[in-house]
Amino acid sequence: MLQNDDVRFISSSIKIPIPPKSPTFTSHFTNATKTVTQLIDSFKTHSNEFTRSVFGKPSLMCSTSLSLINPFRKRSSPILCSASLSLSESTQSQGTRQSEERVLISEVLVRNKEGEELGRKDLEAEALQALKACRPNSALTVSEVQDDVHRIINSGYFCSCMPVAVDTRDGIRLVFQVEPNQEFQGLVCEGANVLPAKYLEDSFRDGYGKVINLRRLDEAISSINGWYMERGLFAMVSDVEILSGGVLKLNVSEAEVNNISIRFLDRKTGEPTIGKTKPETILRQITTKKGQVYSMLQGKRDVETVLTMGIMEDVSIIPQPADTGKVDLVMNVVERPSGGFSAGGGISTAITSGPLRGLIGSFAYSHRNVFGRNQKLNISLERGQIDSIFRINYTDPWIQGDDKRTSGTIMIQNSRTPGTIVHSNEDGDSNLTIGRMTGGIELSRPIRPKWSGTAGLVFQHAGVRDDKGAPIIKDCYRRPLTASGNNHDETLLAKFETVYTGSGDHGSSMFVLNLEQGLPLLSEWLSFTRVNARARKGFELGPAHLHLSLFGGRVVGNFSPFEAFAIGGTNSVRGYEEGAVGSGRSYVVGSGEISFPMLGPVEGVLFSDYGTDLGTGPTVPGDPAGARLKPGSGYGYGFGIRVDSPLGPLRLEYAFNDKKYQRFHFGVGHRN
């Protein structure tokens, strides 16, 4: 007599992926991603619990039952099924011995749970195809029958399967009595607030009117969970239930943000401390808001945004479980020192002669978090052989109460720059300097992704001085140096600028359009319109890079001669001195460069430049370019090297121009 074993399989519970109370997050969310991935994977893993018991019943009848026990809900949900098989015998000892014996099966059939024909040949074929060991005229053990029961269940089409052994005249007939799942007739989904309805419908569209297949249902649920995973959302299908009439009910748990708080940490000890920054100054930077489904990808962008404020050394976000399936966010921030003094140096490309050749020293004080609102104060002084700039800037990067992220800047500047770019020659005007007193206000805001706009009002008081510091209004050719005929020209400028930036790298696309309009509110103030544009585009050529740039501008009206567009020099047409090609009301400069890696931080460069004033040199007041016999157009080409340094790229270039002259150019930073 065969032994009877009773085996029950119970599926594990499914729970919403609430993150642990204290995960460790870096500013790049590495650990957060790992934690959520593990949580999501746990939804896809169904561990089984096995409970064995022996019953002493003298019977050769095999029976199975299927059920889902889901602790997540108070009542059972008949969707993911498990099986139990029992074969009874009189004593346990005999069962242990007889379980190794085989019984010859003469016939294998699939019937409904009443023992009648199934009525669905396709489902009958699915059940027979799932069988592996149970074949007609085969000798089977209890475990082999049990395995085939599992295979029928795992096919996904049936919610119950009971193997029944019947002794007939021709031998033992093995009948698998199965109960097919209902036909899929509708879908109800609760809790899916951010999941698109069309995506949900498309996931189940092919199953309408067909018998529900649990394997395909699991694939559809995995697809929905994958949609959430791809977007970094804390959400998942938490429960599935088949209702009467073949209606599927899905419960989706989406972890909404309950509260967002800021925690300041000491930069040395890492312990909580009192911060200098107003919490609302940080919170207004982030796009994650209360009531939204928390997204790790959005959280990562928020971390990067807060870091770009320039006042934080480290930022991380820690999700913590809250009541009713929601999540609290704690943003840990470590503040940088907010202010200090600095000193440095640089090179002025406008100085091409003299013992120091344009060397500039600088001294500055800056405070990047005034009043704890990320407002910035900069006071700087730059001094060189001729150049001198004293500047005070006060910037509020986000004006309080504005929802468009408008920033405001108040600027005061006193500068002295060489006049050699427009009015230099070898006969005595090489030491002219342009003095400017400037003050104004500018407002900037993002217009759309990668686009920003600026508007401002600036007043300028400017004039020309000789090498002794005395104001002059005529050059050595008796040509005017000011537009008004006075010692100084005064202008009230309305400024408008729009900027497009690609990735932000030097090789990415860039476009800048600048418009300045002189407002003659007083009769002596200048009136003119100036338009200036710059465009740049980069291309990859294998290991090399091609950079194309185009600059151009136009001035209409009465403007100061020293404000003419100067062409030629390190940032214009190489191979010429600064401003040696021309000075005009209009200009166009085109440039092409091919850079390629050489050794470590060193790059090689091949370049070619062309510039022209479009014949507008004589229209500049006093025609300074014509008096100095500037050609008005010219080109240059050459080669050079670039080295990355803490000061930025160092550029050393050797150029030839169309006049057969050669010239070295040295610069710091990328070309304008």
pLDDT at 325: 83
- Please give the average per-residue pLDDT across 36-42, as a whole number: 33
- Please give the average per-residue pLDDT across 388-396, as a whole number: 95
- Please give the average per-residue pLDDT across 252-268, as a whole number: 95
Backbone angles phi, psi at 276, to 5 degrees: -90, -25
Q: Are the beta carbons of 22 and 114 closer than 8 angstroms?
A: no
Task: Fill in the amino acid letter for 242.
Answer: I
* Position 541 pLDDT exceeds 60: yes
Domains for the chain: give ranges and CATH numbers: 103-180 (3.10.20.310), 183-254 (3.10.20.310), 256-335 (3.10.20.310), 339-668 (2.40.160.50)
- Does 508 or 375 have the greater pLDDT score? 375
* Position 51 pLDDT exceeds 50: no
pTM: 0.68
pLDDT at 333: 97
CA 63 to chain centre: 57
pLDDT at 218: 93
pLDDT at 671: 79
- Cα distance between residue 368 and residue 71, in whole Å: 54
pLDDT tens-digit readout, 521-539: 999 999 999 999 999 999 9
**Token pair recorded at residue 568:** 């030629």
pLDDT at 32: 32
Task: Fill in the amino acid letter for 594.
Answer: I
Range with the poorest average pLDDT among 166-180, 253-267, 625-639: 166-180
Which residue is it, tokens 């879908």?
187
* Position 79 pLDDT exceeds 80: no
- Please give the average per-residue pLDDT across 392-407, as a whole number: 92
pLDDT at 476: 86
- Please give the average per-residue pLDDT across 389-415, as a whole number: 94
- Please give the average per-residue pLDDT across 537-552, as a whole number: 94
- Please give the average per-residue pLDDT across 409-435, as a whole number: 81
Which distant-in-sequence residues (6+ apart) come within 8 Å of 474 by Cβ? Answer: 480, 481
Range with the poorest average pLDDT among 227-236, 497-506, 507-516: 497-506
Q: Are the beta carbons of 358 and 384 closer than 8 angstroms?
A: yes
Which distant-in-sequence residues (6+ apart) come within 8 Å of 402 by Cβ? Answer: none
pLDDT tens-digit readout, 293-315: 999 999 999 999 999 999 999 99
Q: Are the beta carbons of 492 and 437 closer than 8 angstroms?
A: no
What confidence category does residue 502 fall into, taking pLDDT thresholds of 50, 70 and 90? confident
- Strand-strand pairing, 451-465 and 433-448: antiparallel
How high is the mean pLDDT of the chain?
A: 82
What confidence category does residue 483 fall into, taking pLDDT thresholds of 50, 70 and 90? very high
pLDDT at 349: 53
- Please give the average per-residue pLDDT across 563-584, as a whole number: 95
- Please give the average per-residue pLDDT across 489-497, as a whole number: 97
Q: How many alpha carbons lie under 13 Å from residue 293 in its C-beta half-sphere?
A: 18
- Does 80 or 475 have the greater pLDDT score? 475
pLDDT at 85: 35
Which residue is it, tokens 């999941």?
195
* Position 351 pLDDT exceeds 80: no
pLDDT at 56: 29
Q: Are the beta carbons of 158 and 182 closer than 8 angstroms?
A: no
- 236 pairs with which residues across the strands? 253
- Cα distance between residue 331 and residue 25, in whole Å: 10
- Please give the average per-residue pLDDT across 613-625, as a whole number: 95
pLDDT tens-digit readout, 188-220: 999 999 999 999 999 998 899 999 999 999 999
- Please give the average per-residue pLDDT across 247-260, as a whole number: 94
* CA dist list (Å): 86 to 415, 525, 644: 96, 103, 77
Task: Fill in the amino acid letter for 588.
Answer: V
pLDDT at 387: 81
pLDDT at 528: 97
What confidence category does residue 71 fall into, taking pLDDT thresholds of 50, 70 and 90? very low
Which distant-in-sequence residues (6+ apart) come within 8 Å of 289 by Cβ? Answer: 257, 260
- Strand-strand pairing, 388-396 and 375-384: antiparallel
- Does 311 or 431 have the greater pLDDT score? 311
Range with the poorest average pLDDT among 161-175, 260-274, 453-467: 161-175
Q: Are the beta carbons of 366 and 393 closer than 8 angstroms?
A: no
* CA dist list (Å): 30 to 169, 295, 309, 547: 69, 14, 22, 35
* Position 14 pLDDT exceeds 80: no
pLDDT at 9: 24
Q: Are the beta carbons of 82 and 70 closer than 8 angstroms?
A: no
- Please give the average per-residue pLDDT across 370-378, as a whole number: 94
Say what the alpha-carbon torsion angle 149, 155, 159, 165 is, to the nearest 10 degrees: -20
pLDDT at 652: 95
Backbone angles phi, psi at 409, to 5 degrees: -130, 130
Strand (E) or helix (H) holding 624: helix 624-627
* Position 628 pLDDT exceeds 80: yes
Q: How many alpha carbons lie under 13 Å from residue 566 in its C-beta half-sphere?
A: 24
- 242 pairs with which residues across the strands? 248
pLDDT at 353: 47
- Of the chain, the end-to-end C-alpha distance in Å amounts to 95
- Please give the average per-residue pLDDT across 35-57, as a whole number: 30
